[in-house]
Structure 1
């Protein structure tokens, strides 16, 4: 995960862009992965650990109606969390994690059900994951997948800079 976190930060710095995080099931591990990289402050602005639904709503601005309709274990919630993190920090990009690390089911979803929200310039997408393993493995894999998704998005932005790029339906 160290390598992909470093790659994400390098790509952000090259673009003069910033990132923020909003975390639920990962409990700050995504922020820790980013801040473990020397020089992270050049691109990482901060994050919110919104373990409780009330924090998702009050701090990140996730609408109560969205939670009532879709639950917190949903792509809709992941996107709303990411948007909230970008808004409150002023970051260009934001990643959000929500899901079930276990050991118990939540909102009827089994452990390993995860949603990663990713927002940025012209981008708003959610990645659905079905992970296996214990609590620690699910949390670590969620962080790795979130960082990989952002790295892929940023790499795609690099590839498309000098040539026409088709709309990939992400925004």
Structure 2
């Protein structure tokens, strides 16, 4: 499915989309808005690279960040729900991860956590281990995965 197809489906359902991105730095929002006419569907994108930005723009809890770290499903969940709350969107996706280079034994390069929130539905989270593909490849792969999540999330909206 192409991004244009995703946007057409969202438009047909009357669904607005917002993104909350950390390691991808706005790449998902850029992919969506590269399509002419996307303003009918794309409400906004939050680029929250720092923990402070996650807290200020999305309402991520400081305690969640301290307890679980920025790269966690718990933070991805709060990011997705924060984007839903702080936008006009009915469907949001969040991304937080370690694009590289680097990482640690506990949080390796290529680990990316995603959140998907939709009005009236339980927020879903998942972690994908893309591996040490290199920074650019991790970011592109995470972007594409987030677009796929939006497509699947759209399917669950009546």
TM class by smaller structure: over 0.9
Q: Unpaired runs of 5+ in structure 1?
A: 162-171
Deviation at 1:106, TM superposition (A): 5.8
- Matched residues in 1 for 2:4 and 2:105: separation? 34
- 1:148 match: 148
> Does the CA-based 8 Å contact 2:93-2:149 persist in structure 1?
no
**Structure 2 SS opposite 1:97:** strand
The TM-score normalised by the length of structure 2 is 0.93
CA RMSD in angstroms comes to 1.5
Deviation at 1:86, TM superposition (A): 1.3
- Matched residues in 1 for 2:89 and 2:137: separation? 28
- Matched residues in 1 for 2:66 and 2:105: separation? 11
> Does the CA-based 8 Å contact 1:100-1:106 persist in structure 2?
no
Distance change >3 Å, CA 152–CA 103, structure 1 → 2? same
**Structure 2 SS opposite 1:59:** helix
Q: Find the structure with the greater CA-based Rg.
A: 1
Q: Deviations over 1:14-60 (max 9, x none)?
A: 11010101100001111100000111101100111100111001111
How many pairs align? 156
- Matched residues in 2 for 1:107 and 1:10: separation? 42
- Matched residues in 1 for 2:105 and 2:9: separation? 36
Q: Unpaired runs of 5+ in structure 2?
A: none
Higher mean C-alpha deviation, range 106-115 or range 117-126: 106-115
Structure 1 runs, 4 residues or longer, greater than 4 Å off: none
**How do residues 1-171 of structure 1 correspond to structure 2 at under 5 angstroms?**
3-105=1-103, 108-121=106-119, 122-132=121-131, 133-157=133-157
